[in-house]
Amino acid sequence: MHYISRREAIALFGLTVAGFSQSRQPAKSFGQAKACILLFPYGSPPQHEMFDPKPDAPVEIQGEMKSIATCMPGVRIGEGIPALAPIMDRLAVIRSVNHAYPQHGVAYAVTGIPTYTPALEDKPRDARHWPFIGSVVDYIGQLRSGGAIPTVPRNIALPWLLNSKTDLNVSAGPYAAFLGQAHDPVWTDFDGAGTKNAPRYTDGQTRDYLDPFQETTLGGKFCISSLGQKVDGLSPDRLRERRDLLHRMESVPPRLFDKHHDLAFSLLMSGKTLNALDLSREPQPLREKYGATLFGQSCLAARRLVEAGSKFVTVFWDGFGQFANCGWDTHNNHYPRLKNYLLPGFNQAYPTLIQDLELRGMLDSTLVMWLSEHGRTPKIDSKPKGAGRHHWSQAYSVVLAGGGAARGKIIGSTDKHAGEVRDTPVSPKDILATAFYLLGIDPETRVPDTFGRPMPIAGEGIVRHELLA
């Protein structure tokens, strides 16, 4: 069992109990979410072509894609995501998210870190980082369980280590920072090959990439990445012998034994995680409905992991092959990539996930968050082939569904160009604080950093009751 220090217990439970015992009683939606699925489109999607279109704006703002009506009177979305029109009454769209850092700051979007610099982007273990939201959920879950190792990881991320399939370093953000590497996400890997070339990142690109996010075979399989993979031919008794040997080799008492080893053993001995990742157990028509794309199949795997007991599952729509302008970072070839790659994959997988959770009676207890680093510029850059929109953090959209989030609600608004927040500004830290609240964690909870100082899990974020049901 993991040793829980008095300092840790006070940091977690002392503030939580005090916080809600004094005139700040939790609302009905506090703790309604028993799990969270975070969908993170790396590179950042455009607000104009998705959740904040401006049909009356001039062409250099509106662009060549138009808007469509939805099931909510007066609410329009981009024409490239028509399958979302009938489910808008299940969603909370925050159009007024903003911050000061128009960079690929995954860490700024998913941790409580108060400021950001691009120098941190490819340094996951830099001491200045703060813990990932999923790592905080795992840490607090471990404390609440008395240190028990779960049979399904509380914090798991798909489809692979962020940016590990590109030609650049991995990105910071989804790591446990000062909570310790034991609370990093358990990463999966995926062995399915891409079967179709993705539209080019740039006009001068020297090679094409068979990108599984564009299209992949449904024969592809998820597995646990390096950690917890079973060696063929080893019986459970032999595995126990190996574990006991590792314990004897360690210089610390068994109760302080590295959580990585215990979690690896737990994954080996329990079939729940591997069964959840085995998508061949799903009916073929449902797999096809999610889409023969890596994002679609990852969304299905996320639903299965939540069913199996995971508390926080992250799906990254990641880059593949080339890093520059990868994923949703459409500085170049903006419209070909949106029309033929990005929007179709999202349009198929996302509403399927929401409806699948709803049909299974899971949506009310599962928070689904679609969020990224920032938005994209109001004015289109017509110089690159296929046009481009660049980084923009002064106004962009985030979408919540389920788990006690508001339903059929638009929160905040932007000016006529979707470039500046007009009312109800919301920070990324507010999104984190609200997510913690829905997950039953007081967002003012402090956790100890490397020096034992109590640090707020959501930074300066506050619960935004506008986002709650």
**Structure tokens, 232:** 């063929």
pLDDT given at position 106: 97
Q: Is residue 379 part of a domain?
A: no
In a domain, residue 467? The reply is no
Which amino acid, 399? V
- The total of structural domains in the chain comes to 1
Q: List CB contacts of 326: < 8 A, sequence separation 6 or more.
A: 42, 43, 166, 201, 318, 319, 320
Amino acid letter for position 86:
P
Measured CA to CA, the distance from residue 31 to residue 326 in angstroms comes to 36
Low-confidence residues of the chain: pLDDT under 50 = 1-23, 227-236, 238-243, 245-257
The pLDDT of residue 353 is 99
SS3 state at 396: strand
| Tokens (6 digits) for 162 | 């962020």
Q: Does some domain include residue 426?
A: no
Q: Which domain holds residue 396?
A: 6-18+36-368+389-419
pLDDT at 213: 98
Element spanning 77, H or E: strand 76-78
Asked if residue 447 belongs to a domain, the reply is no
pLDDT at 262: 60
Instruction: Note whether 156 and 186 are within 8 A (CB).
Output: yes
Map tokens 């969304």 to a residue. Answer: 299
Spatial distance between the Cα atoms of 243 and 254, rounded to a whole number of angstroms: 11
How far apart CA 37 and CA 352 sit, in angstroms, is: 14
Quickly count helices (H) and strands (E) in the chain. Answer: 13, 17
For the segment 190-217, what is each residue's pLDDT rounded down to a tens digit?
Answer: 999 999 999 999 888 889 999 999 999 9
Indicate whether 228 belongs to any domain: yes
Name the DSSP class of 184. S
Residue 459 placed within a domain: no
Dump pLDDT digits (tens) for 87-139: 999 999 999 999 999 999 999 999 999 999 999 999 999 999 999 999 999 99
Nearest by Cα to 201 from 160, 168, 237: 168
Please report the pLDDT score of residue 202 as a whole number: 87
Q: Per the domain annotation, does 187 fall within a domain?
A: yes
Task: Quote the pLDDT of residue 168.
Answer: 85
Q: Is residue 425 part of a domain?
A: no
